[in-house]
């Protein structure tokens, strides 16, 4: 039989999803969670404005795949954050969406059961509930805004968003970021180039008009005001790091030339550590030394950390998953996390107030 269809030839099916409004009605933000979010956003804005002299550190698992492990991590991180709070403002990395170089598990929202069942509706519920629970502990949260639709479901719980190296150049992501309510870090490109990120920073400040969904799930024209709190994240690229003082200074010049504020976050992972977790504390130490020596542009760090060291592939039999171990990039473990943050705090606590 001849197939005469002219559309949807490669589409298997469509399923209607819960609307953002309905998900929020089922899992409403509490007063305690809202107060964590508002504080988190304000502190980060103050750090980017230079009125709060601390640095902020986005730290946590490369991706969340196990809610219990994430809650345990959050409890430990909250305690640790109280010890370092006068120099380092801790924001937990709660990443539910993974941009893949080719293919692979795309995160808890896309496939919450890690078994290719792709129960996205359940993924949205699990993700929002976890963010609520972590926020209620008093933790500010960070995530990567990858799918342009998901912010409608959970941006009210986010204090800082990342646009990843693979999407910084994308107009869709720049438009979306121009409407986000929190500060947004744009990674440099996967090739290590800064231009895609500086162009993104120029774009995100402006109002944009584009297609999206409204809180009640209707396809809509979204008109944004522009986001004044974009900044660059140096993550290295093309097999080379870019956290060293020369690279940071080149980045400062590029920002200056583009008329952008000199606010730089250093991602201690990814190409800055050749994805070797053991190198992440060394990158953090180097960044802290640059601050000690007078650097004023480094305002934040990103670290991939988990309860346990390293990474694991998702096993055929999910009962074989090791608790607290990343299923995406390799992470440092809890003892290394504590040491890294406490060392940085001890190094910077007397310096930062007079920065």
Ligand X SMILES: O=C[C@H](O)[C@H](O)COP(=O)(O)O
Ligand Y SMILES: C=C(OP(=O)(O)O)C(=O)O
Give contact residues for ligand Y (rule: CB under 6 A): 62, 95, 99, 144, 164-166, 187, 235, 267, 270
Q: How far is the CB of 237 from ligand Y (least distance, A)?
A: 8
Name the helix (H) or strand (E) containing 303: strand 298-304
Cβ atoms of 237 and 190 within 8 Å: the answer is yes
234 binds ligand X (CB under 6 A): no
50 binds ligand X (CB under 6 A): no
Q: How far is the CB of 327 from ligand X (least distance, A)?
A: 11
Q: How many residues bind ligand X (CB under 6 A)?
A: 9
62 binds ligand X (CB under 6 A): yes
Cβ atoms of 325 and 266 within 8 Å: the answer is no
Chosen from ligand Y, ligand X, none, partner binding at 94 (C-beta under 5 to 8 Å by type): none
Judged by beta carbon, residue 204 or residue 352, the one nearer ligand Y is 204
Judged by beta carbon, residue 29 or residue 201, the one nearer ligand Y is 201
Q: How far is the CB of 71 from ligand Y (least distance, A)?
A: 20
CA separation for the pair 347, 355 (Å, rounded):
13
Q: Which stretch binds ligand X (CB under 6 A): 46-54, 73-81, 96-104, 115-123?
A: 96-104
Q: How far is the CB of 203 from ligand Y (least distance, A)?
A: 18
> What angle separates helix 245-257 from helix 195-204, to the nearest 10 degrees?
40
Name the helix (H) or strand (E) containing 127: helix 120-136
Cβ atoms of 328 and 117 within 8 Å: the answer is no
Chosen from ligand Y, ligand X, none, partner binding at 132 (C-beta under 5 to 8 Å by type): none
Nearest to 47 by CA among 299, 344, 352, 348: 299
Chosen from ligand X, ligand Y, none, partner binding at 100 (C-beta under 5 to 8 Å by type): ligand X
Judged by beta carbon, residue 108 or residue 254, the one nearer ligand X is 108
CA separation for the pair 334, 162 (Å, rounded):
23
Cβ atoms of 170 and 204 within 8 Å: the answer is no
Chosen from ligand Y, ligand X, none, partner binding at 165 (C-beta under 5 to 8 Å by type): ligand Y
CA separation for the pair 52, 341 (Å, rounded):
19
193: its two tokens: 């180039």
106 binds ligand X (CB under 6 A): no
Judged by beta carbon, residue 23 or residue 196, the one nearer ligand Y is 196
Q: How far is CA 187 from CA 165, 266, 270, 294, in A?
A: 5, 9, 11, 24
Judged by beta carbon, residue 191 or residue 216, the one nearer ligand X is 191
Chosen from ligand Y, ligand X, none, partner binding at 244 (C-beta under 5 to 8 Å by type): none
Judged by beta carbon, residue 62 or residue 265, the one nearer ligand X is 62
328 binds ligand X (CB under 6 A): yes
111 binds ligand X (CB under 6 A): no
Residues numbered 253 to 282 that lie near ligand X (CB under 6 A) are 270
Task: Spell 54-79 as b/e; 16+ CB within 10 A means b.
Answer: bbbbbbbbbbbbbbebbeebbeebee
Nearest to 201 by CA among 229, 225, 182: 229
Q: How far is the CB of 165 from ligand X (least distance, A)?
A: 8
329 binds ligand X (CB under 6 A): yes
Q: DSSP string of 52-92?
A: S--EEEEEE-SS---HHHHHHHHHHHHHHHHHHTTTEEEEE
Chosen from ligand X, ligand Y, none, partner binding at 106 (C-beta under 5 to 8 Å by type): none
- List the one residue from 17, 34, 67, 99 that touches ligand X (CB under 6 A): 99
Judged by beta carbon, residue 62 or residue 234, the one nearer ligand X is 62
Chosen from ligand Y, ligand X, none, partner binding at 173 (C-beta under 5 to 8 Å by type): none
For residue 88, report the phi and psi dihedrals to the nearest 5 degrees: -125, 125
219: three-class secondary structure by DSSP: strand
Cross-strand bridge partners of residue 88: 55
Site residues (vs ligand X, CB under 6 A):
62, 98-101, 104, 270, 328-329
């Amino acid at each position: 039989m001849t197939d005469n269809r002219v559309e949807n030839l490669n589409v298997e099916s469509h399923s209607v999803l819960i609307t953002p409004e309905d998900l929020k009605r089922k899992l409403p933000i509490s007063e305690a969670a809202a107060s964590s979010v508002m504080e988190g956003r304000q502190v980060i804005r103050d750090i980017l404005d230079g009125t709060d002299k601390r640095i902020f550190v986005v730290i946590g698992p490369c991706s969340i795949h196990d809610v219990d492990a994430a809650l345990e991590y959050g409890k430990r991180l909250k305690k640790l954050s109280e010890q370092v709070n006068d120099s380092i403002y801790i924001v937990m990395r709660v990443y539910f969406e993974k941009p893949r170089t080719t293919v692979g598990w795309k995160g808890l929202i896309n496939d919450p059961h890690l078994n290719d069942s792709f129960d996205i509706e359940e993924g949205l519920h699990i993700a929002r509930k976890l963010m609520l629970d972590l926020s209620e502990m008093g933790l500010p949260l960070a995530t990567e805004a990858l799918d342009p639709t998901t912010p409608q479901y959970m941006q009210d719980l986010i204090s800082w968003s990342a646009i990843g190296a693979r999407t910084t150049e994308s107009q869709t992501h720049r438009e979306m970021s121009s409407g986000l309510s929190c500060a947004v870090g744009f990674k440099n490109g996967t090739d290590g180039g800064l231009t895609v990120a500086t162009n993104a920073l120029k774009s995100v400040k402006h109002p944009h008009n584009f297609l999206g969904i409204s809180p009640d799930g209707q396809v809509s024209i979204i008109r944004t005001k522009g986001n004044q709190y974009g900044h660059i994240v140096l993550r290295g690229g093309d097999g080379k790091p870019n956290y060293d003082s020369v690279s940071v200074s080149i980045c400062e010049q590029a920002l200056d030339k583009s008329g952008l504020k000199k606010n730089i976050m250093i991602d201690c992972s990814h190409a800055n550590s050749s994805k070797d977790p053991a190198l992440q504390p060394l990158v953090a130490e180097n960044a802290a030394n640059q601050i000690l020596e007078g650097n004023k542009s480094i305002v934040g760090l990103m670290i991939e950390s988990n309860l346990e060291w390293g990474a694991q592939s998702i096993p055929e039999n999910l009962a074989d998953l090791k608790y607290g171990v990343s299923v995406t990039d390799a992470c440092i473990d809890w003892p290394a996390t504590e040491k890294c943050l406490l060392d940085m705090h001890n190094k910077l606590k007397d310096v930062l107030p007079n920065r």
